[in-house]
Structures are given as structure tokens and as C-alpha cells.
Amino acid sequence: MKYLASISFFILFNSCSNTQEKIRPTEQDLTESVYTSVTIQPDSLYKAYAIVAGILDKNIVEEGDVVAKDQAISQIINNTPILNSQNAKLSLDLAKENYNGSAAILSGIKEEIEAANLKFKNDSINFFRQQNLWSQSIGSKAEFDAKQLNYQLSQNNLALLINKYNQTKNQLSTSVKQAQNNYQTSLISTKDFTVKSAINGKVYALYKASGELVNTMEPVASIGSASTFIIEMLVDEVDIVKISNKQDVIITLDAYGGKVLQGEVSKIYPKKDERNQTFKVEAVFVNPPKVLYPGLSGEANIVIYKKENILTIPRSYIINNNQVKTEDGLVTITTGLENMEFVEVISGITKDTYLYKPE
């Protein structure tokens, strides 16, 4: 009976072993990568804003149009800057007239200086003549004092008028310069009502229609490169330290089905997005598709490391992170490179070892 029991146990164990799924390790190329979602955006994409408020008169271009740098995009209406410019021009003309014109203030002061200068010369002659007579004891002291006083008053008055002329000239010159600056500023303000493209590119969106209110806080248009597109990826913070420039990127876009596209990491943004705990990473296409649109989405794998012809097993066969089930029971292994499906086996088993899938 004991012999029969042993036979029964052997048959039962052997039957379980035969029915349990088993494999042997395989040698293959293995790539470790970081998975990320993808959004396609034009290079140099930006939103154009008006720097003044007003009413949109018209959009000069349409969505999809290719534009050159400094080409007009939208025209805004606001009469205030035009009126300010006209007033500034009137002020400038008045300032110039006061400084240079026939009715200039300086002309009147010049006439006063000429009259004061004639009076000063006359009083000077009378004073020195009286002084000469007084030195010869001719004439009265009262006459000498009167001539001297007139001479000094004429001299002072002439000096005051010359000083007044110089001060007035400086003030009027300053007024002309200020009026000129104000006028130039007002002209710039009128030009600010035309929104222009900052780059050579394509208009991807127009946010305002004719008659709508435009302010400095809302964009008027979205403009970006017409031919060059960027692959935007959001990488989890636990993986960002593995990413570096020039790494290969394998991309699939929903719009292109299962077609595999090649890219290369071009830029890593150092600031983390606190909302989703990710870092923004950009890549460029090696051979981009002929047709791309902003906002196309898909998936990507950033290649971190690649090994050729190494011993691998499926991840699903690993127990407790470093053990596998063999014909001899649980065996501890040393692992290396891994991806979503396979793990590199460095030691512990060989390519001839049978492995059983954990239940």
C-alpha cells in the first residue's frame, strides 16, 4: 500500500508539472525606455496680444495663412490716440512759432534789449561827461549823482533783459523738444493699433471677430512655425533624471495609426509642473510626416538604454522582485535592464533553465 501511495504522489506531481505553463529564457535585444504622452505643437508657437485697447476693425489675415515677420494681422479702432496725435501736433506747431516765428516771444525781448542798450549808451556818455566836469569842480553834486544813478540803472536793466532773453530762449527750446517728443509718442500710439506678426510663420487661430472688444489681457491670434513642429512630452518626476538631450524617441500618433515615427530629445525644461508632478520635455522629428497639425496627440517611448543579444525573461515570471520558479524550486536571480515586458537576467539561471509561471 505504501508503494502504491508513492506512485500516486509521483503521478499527481508529474501531472501538475506537465500542465503548468513553462518557458525557457530567450536571447534578444532589449531596450529600456520611459513612456510618456505626446502633443504636437508648431515650433515658436506664441499668442499675439494688442498693447492697446479698442474695437477690432478687421482681421487682415485668415486662419491658415502664411505670414512674414512684421506683417499686419489685425487692425484695431480707437479714435483717442488719433485725437491725441492731432493735439500734440498743434502744441508742437505753437512751440515752434513761439521759438522761431514772426510773433515769437524772443523778438519782443530783443527789441527791449536794443532800446535798453541805446539808453545805456546815452546814460553812459552823460555820466562820464558829468564825471569829467565834476573832477574839474564844474557842476553840482546833485547833477553828478543823478547821471551816475541813471547810468547804473540802465546798466542793470540791460543785464536783466539779456538774462531774461537767455532764460526765455532755453525755456522755449525745451518746450519745442518736449512737444516734439509728445508728438512722436502719439504717432507711435496710433501705430500700436495694428497687431503684427513677430515671426515668419502661419496663423493657427484668430480669437477675435470684427466689432469685438480687444484688450491687452486677451490674445488676438496664435502664430507659429509653418513647417517645423515640436514633440511635447510630459515626463513623470521619477523618470526625469533618466532623460538627456539627443536620446532617441519612438513615437506613435493617433492620427497615423500604428505607424512608428522617430524623434530625438531636444530640450528639457527644468521647472516641474506642480499640478501634475511632471516635467516638460521637447523632441524633434528625424523624418516628420508630411502633414501635421497643432494638438495632434499620441504616445512615445524615450530610449534610455539598449543592449543587444542578452538573456531575458518575461516580467510576469518574476517572484518577489528577484526569484523565479524552476524545476528545482525557487531560484534567486540577478536582474539588469528591463522594460514593460522583459527583464535582463545577469546570473542565477541559463538559457536552458525551464521556468514556471507563478500562479
The pLDDT of residue 13 is: 39
First to last CA, the chain: 33
State the architecture of 46-78+193-223 in CATH terms. Beta Barrel (2.40)
Please state whether 140 falls in left (phi above 0), alpha (psi between -120 and 50) or beta. Answer: beta
Backbone angles phi, psi at 176, to 5 degrees: -65, -45
- Alpha-carbon separation of residue 353 from 28, 96, 306 (angstroms): 16, 101, 24
Cα–Cα distance measured from residue 56 to residue 58, given in angstroms and rounded to the nearest whole number: 6
In the 8-state DSSP scheme, what is residue 319? B
State the architecture of 19-30+307-356 in CATH terms. Beta Barrel (2.40)
Cα–Cα distance measured from residue 253 to residue 262, given in angstroms and rounded to the nearest whole number: 11
> Which one-letter amino acid corresponds to residue 347?
S
Cα–Cα distance measured from residue 199 to residue 46, given in angstroms and rounded to the nearest whole number: 10
Query: Any alpha helices (H) in 45-78, and if so which ranges?
Result: none
The pLDDT of residue 245 is: 95
The grid coordinates of residue 198 equal 513677430
Q: Residue 333, Cβ neighbours under 10 Å: how many?
A: 23
**Closest to 354 in 3D by CA, of 318, 320, 326:** 326
The pLDDT of residue 81 is: 63
Cα–Cα distance measured from residue 197 to residue 70, given in angstroms and rounded to the nearest whole number: 5
Q: 273: Cβ–Cβ under 8 A, 6 or more apart, which residues? A: 234, 279, 280
The pLDDT of residue 180 is: 80
Q: At what angle do helices 79-100 and 141-191 cross, to 10 degrees?
A: 150
The grid coordinates of residue 44 equal 515658436
The grid coordinates of residue 234 equal 510630459
Cα–Cα distance measured from residue 324 to residue 320, given in angstroms and rounded to the nearest whole number: 9
The pLDDT of residue 163 is: 87
Strands (E), 216-341: 219-224, 229-236, 248-253, 260-273, 278-285, 297-314, 323-326, 329-332, 334-338
CATH (residue range 34-44+227-306): 2.40.30.170
> Which one-letter amino acid corresponds to residue 230?
I
Q: Residue 268, Cβ neighbours under 10 Å: how many?
A: 16
Q: pLDDT tens track of the chain, all 359 residues?
A: 333 333 333 333 344 445 567 899 999 988 888 999 999 999 999 999 998 888 898 999 999 999 999 999 999 876 566 666 677 777 767 777 766 754 567 777 788 888 888 888 888 888 888 888 778 878 788 887 888 888 888 889 888 888 888 887 787 777 777 778 777 776 655 556 889 999 999 999 999 999 999 998 999 999 999 999 999 999 999 999 999 999 999 999 999 987 999 999 999 999 999 998 999 999 999 999 989 999 999 999 999 988 889 999 998 899 988 999 998 899 999 998 887 788 999 999 999 999 998 87
